[in-house]
Amino acid sequence: MGPPSATLRRQLASLLVVRCSGHGRDGQRRYPRWELRNAELRRLLEQGVGGVILLGGSAEELRLRCEQLQGWAGQPLLLCADVEEGVGQRFEGASWLVPPLALGRLHGTDPQRAERLAERYGRCTGRQARLLGLNWVLGPVCDVNNTPANPVINVRAWGEDPATASALVSAFSRGLQSQGVLGCAKHFPGHGDTDVDSHLGLPIINTPRERLDQVEFPPFRAGIDAGADAIMTAHIEIPALDNGAFAPSSLSEKITTDLLRGEMKFDGLIYTDSMGMDAVSKALSPGDAAVRAVKAGNDIVLHSPDDAAAFAGIKAAVEKGDITVTRIDTSVKRILRAKARVGLNTQKLVPLDKVAELVGGREHAKVAGQIGQRAITLIKDAKNHVPLKLARNASVLYLSVLDYPNGWRIATPSRTFIPELRRRYPGTTSIEVSDRTTPAELDLIRASASKYDAIVVSIFVRASSGSGRMDLAAPVTKLLNDVAKAAGNKPMVTTFFGNPYVAMFLPDLPAMLLT
């Protein structure tokens, strides 16, 4: 066929969701390789790009940015963000909730309460997203985290077994959808059983189909039954589903069209995980990857490392007849249907002077606090030292233990813990320990630990996409074990923030709390 018409070119552009900062001005900011500057972003939006995924900034900035982007586009946009732990996870000033796995832990002892809290979690996230201009929340995660060493899913999952994950996915989805925003089930067909981060490489899951049916698929089926608006396909290879050469799920027609569309009867939006991830971008050019994604059955190509090349690749494939116009029309209709479902033409944004009150106010802070309190679990207290029974003038050594110092952004480790500890025990000495702590500094801590009346440790290990790490440096682990021995019968209490599985590698610590 000949060159596509202007209308068809806009339809092709609508299959792309591009990435940008939540900050409105370029200013003097240094842009990471995956973010678009405003001039290029505006040009793409004017050409008909279908949506934007945002990252970074405050709640107020996000509110202004969403209005700005919609104005540039001149058409309703899908505006989305990875806010799996609440809008405050990405945008300061909104509510940042506990990781979903915390409610998975609670579900084991109190399923009804966990499901009620998961629904409130969804309502809180959806309401704040809608008020600030987001209309698509990239959650819930439907993966079953059945591999403790998983560096990319981990605490993002709602459960470690399919029944728990399914129940909480359903509850969260009900809450989210009640606020008039789109949700998404991810990462299909299941990213939980891997120890490879797809931001860094291509995970291969050698699981038989029978186990996929029993373990990986149920939460996605639950999400579909709960009215999932969209499903994200994962950059993972599963030979039991497609044993072709380089056949990640996101680029596989057998998985995306035959399994998800055909067998599971899903008729909502299907879109890829970020195409900038190394699992795909190191193997294919942006144009080739985009073409394969559309041919596989995805309606949206998310965050290509080169949006212009992705568009050009799809356009060339249509011109050659490798992708039919009928195929494009089908995806465009799904995109328009999704936009209509959330009423983008009538979306009302919160007045800027009301952001702090309506988004960061007491109601949402209460939800975050209640969920956080329910998440705290004492898993070991060998010497009956919890709660601490110390005089106010006791000397306390506090170790703030980090996996690695960079990458924590607004969540400065111990910024809340240290003031609270000192309020109770003014004689508290706090020391930060990480993979950058020198051997001499570790030896000094080791030598002085026995001089204190008690030792309190907080361990911060974060599931951070692209880091490929989910543990502590070996010298730090050895320090903690040595300090536990030196403490003798004195109290030593350790609290784990972030990855709860780190506790498995520190079995000699006498008292442990998971948060």
Which pLDDT tens digit goes with each residue over 365-389?
888 888 888 889 899 999 999 999 9
Q: What is the C-alpha R_g of the chain?
A: 24
- Per-residue tokens: 122: 């969804």
- Report the Cα 204 to chain-centroid distance in Å: 21
Would you state the pLDDT for residue 271? 97
B/e letters for 8-18, b = 16+ CB within 10 Å, e = fewer, are bbbbbbbbbbb
The number of beta carbons lying within 10 Å of the beta carbon of residue 496 is 23
What local confidence, expressed as pLDDT, does residue 127 receive? 94
| Closest C-alpha to 147, from 160, 158, 164, 162 | 160
Rounded-to-integer distance, Cα 49 and Cα 45, Å: 5
- Catalytically active residues are 199, 273
Cβ count within 10 A of residue 25: 12
HSE-up of residue 130 (Cα within 13 Å, Cβ side): 21
Tokens 């009956």 — which residue?
384
The span from the CA of 235 to the CA of 162, in Å, is 21
Is residue 169 within 8 A of residue 219, CB to CB? The reply is yes
pLDDT at 59: 93
pLDDT at 343: 81
Non-local (6+) Cβ contacts of 376 within 8 A are 513, 514, 515
Residue numbers in the chain where pLDDT is lower than 70:
1-4, 26-34, 344-348, 406-411, 463-470
Q: Kind of pairing, strands 492-498 and 454-461? A: parallel
Per-residue pLDDT, 406: 63
CA neighbours closer than 13 Å in the CB half-sphere of residue 354: 8
